[in-house]
Chains A and B, each alone.
Chain A
Amino acid sequence: MSAATLDDTTVPKGQTPRKGHGRIRSRWAPYVTVLKYALLLFFLVFFLMPVYALVVTSLKDPAEVGVDTVWNLPSTLSFDSFATVWPKLQDGLVNSLMLAIPASLISSLLGAANGFVLSKWRFPGADFVFPLILFGMFIPYQSVLIPMTETMSFLGLKGGLDGLILVHIIYGLPLTTLIFRSYFAGISDEIVEAAEVDGAGMLRTFFHVALPVAPPAFAVAIIWQFTSAWNDFLFGAVLTTNRAYWPVTIALNNIAGGQAVPFNEAMASALIACLPTLLVYILLGRFFMRGLMAGALKG
């Protein structure tokens, strides 16, 4: 499970520059290269095609929009579509921010503590507990929704954002724990032992030795949790009854989900709802990727 400790980017780089670069090429190599780039371009078009449609349609004049002209460039730039959907999404965006930020921060902090204990201060039975925590990462949320609505309304936490935040913290814990456990496992045991010899207890070792070296793991955990909380639909749909507390995904589904919605408005609202996580991905993609790889658990 070393994936979360991968250095540099997402995936290990190709061969070290020392080796491999100077390889002798077979005579087929030029053809293979051309074929490779051709295929890559094909896939690039496939993957970017929806984005193109999204952007182009959102920027068209509503009169110009049609399913049959989806690939045409706009003849004039128009922000009318955005203007129409913005008021309906505005609250959702604010709600999503207000839930995703605290949820990701708290979930990461708790995950750091768990990860530290599970990798460096293994209490008897830790090896038994860890797989149980991991399972929480894969559980289908459908199988907890009914008891959860019941419990949350019993606790008076149903309907508002605080209940939603709590739920996101808890279901985020398995992954944050895993991320920090792998990260701390990559740190030499001797550092912890040195702190112990110097007389530091568990808590002091955690706060003074482990946390100061953990910012990269925090970046991974926070970014990944933020993205998941932002993109969540199920919890929000079950726990928020009042449209004033809808996260953006619920708002989006309600604006653009109906088949009767104008094409351009659907696209504009989808674009707005995606923009924050897309920005996070573009700016901090490597941390995002590490979270992704950690989730794959490879031994």
Chain B
Amino acid sequence: MRRFRRWGPALLLVSPSLLLIGLFVYGFAGWNAKVSTSTSRGYQISDDYIGTDNYEKLFADERFGLDVRNVLIFTLVFVLGAMATGLVLALLLERGIRFESFFRSSFIFPMALSLIAVGIVWRWLLKGGEPVGGLNKVFDSLGLDFLVGDWYQSGSSWAIASIALPAGWALSGYIMALFLAGIRGVPDELREAARVDGANEPRVFWHIVRPMLWPVVMSALVILAHISLKTFDLLLAIVPKGNLGLDTPAMYMWYTSFDGGFYGRGATIATLLLAGIALVIVPYIWYSVRSERKK
């Protein structure tokens, strides 16, 4: 009874939230997994059970294979690009820059924009072909002809990589902020000790700061990777409908479920997507919570 008097009100206060999260996150994800084992089509969820049929069909599906390949290429280019840009920006801003907050804000503001809008703008900036415009025009007039290209319209199997440019534009600032916080979290005295010990600035960074940035690198990688896997709005706004060369699982899921009503197949893709993301996110949450508890 005393236990209830102490914990009762607290539990009552959080239970609505917990119930809703339980239902909408775990309940729905579970239900979705169940839908993936049914034939569900025609915008209807059916109750039959067909085991792993949908999965087997999907793995045999040429389009899905292409999608996976696409999303992996996109993830690779986007994650590496955004990490590198974010780190360079953080190093540039790290110390003693005038107008630092102006620069910082200018690099981060894309985070506040709707990715649909970002996609619309970049769709035009990355337009290939004639007349030469957008980014190509810039390269052209700077004499950097070799950079002029057809980008996402190129039809090459790497065309999806060009979407990493707008995605990196939107998220590099975030990564910069993470690195900046990490670099500035290194106590001044450590750098000073290293200087007195005879290290010049590059060596201070390499031997003292860099090893302390691993947690930030991990965070940034995980965040970028999971965002990359579920990227949807940006692709929807840039990629013309029906262009399978730029298709990804998230897009496939959308079109097959809500354009075609194939809930069974859509749920299968979504379950695989969730599994892929859980693979990076669960260890990350586990690690964060554990390191918090250690403090």
Contacts and interface: CB of A to CB of B under 8 A. Distances in A.
Interface of A: 1, 3, 6, 9-16, 19-21, 26, 36-37, 39-40, 43-44, 46-50, 53-54, 66-71, 110-111, 113-114, 117-118, 121, 123-124, 127, 129-136, 138-148, 150-151, 167, 170-171, 173-174, 177, 201-203, 206, 227, 230-231, 233-234, 237-238, 248-249, 252-253, 256-257, 259, 263, 266-267, 269-271, 273-274, 277-278, 280-282, 285, 288-289, 292-293, 295-299
B219 interface: yes
Contacts of A233: 114-116, 232-233, 236
Contacts of A281: 105, 109, 111-112
Contacts of B120: 252, 256-257, 266-267, 269-270
B109 to A, nearest CB: 6
Contacts of A68: 131-133, 137
B95 to A, nearest CB: 5
A296 B21 contact: no
B133 A138 contact: no
Contacts of B138: 49, 71
A231 B234 CA distance: 12
A297 B285 contact: yes
Contacts of A150: 45
Given A20-B188, A113-B13, A130-B289, A263 B124 contact: yes
A40 B270 CA distance: 40
Given A138-B277, A171-B24, A143 B109 contact: no
A70 B134 contact: yes
A36 B105 contact: no
B21 A133 contact: yes
Contacts of A253: 116, 236-237
Contacts of A203: 9, 13
Contacts of A177: 17
Main secondary structure of the interface of A (DSSP, over half): helix
A117 B125 contact: no
Interface string B25-53: 11111011001000000000100000000
B241 to A, nearest CB: 9
Nearest to A299: B291
A9 B101 contact: yes
B96 interface: yes
Contacts of A15: 95, 188
Contacts of B273: 140, 142-143
Interface string B106-137: 11111111111110111011010001111001
B282 interface: yes
A80 B25 CA distance: 45
Contacts of A50: 118, 121-122, 125, 169
A271 B117 CA distance: 8
A122 B224 CA distance: 32
A208 B269 CA distance: 48
Contacts of A71: 137-138
B197 interface: no
Interface residues of B, number: 114
Given A145-B270, A289-B177, 14 more contacts: A14-B95, A14-B184, A50-B118, A53-B121, A133-B21, A136-B25, A146-B31, A231-B116, A233-B115, A238-B258, A248-B114, A281-B112, A288-B111, A296-B219
22 contacts: A47-B110, A68-B132, A70-B124, A70-B133, A135-B282, A139-B274, A144-B24, A144-B25, A144-B32, A145-B257, A170-B21, A230-B114, A253-B236, A270-B121, A273-B114, A273-B117, A278-B109, A297-B219, A298-B288, A299-B287, A299-B288, A299-B295
A70 B125 contact: yes
Nearest to B16: A110
Contact of B281 (A138, A170, A256): A138
Contacts of B271: 143
A32 B191 CA distance: 19
A66 B127 CA distance: 12
B196 interface: no
Given A20-B95, A40-B92, A274 B127 contact: no
Contacts of B21: 132-133, 136, 170, 173-174
Contacts of A131: 285-286, 289
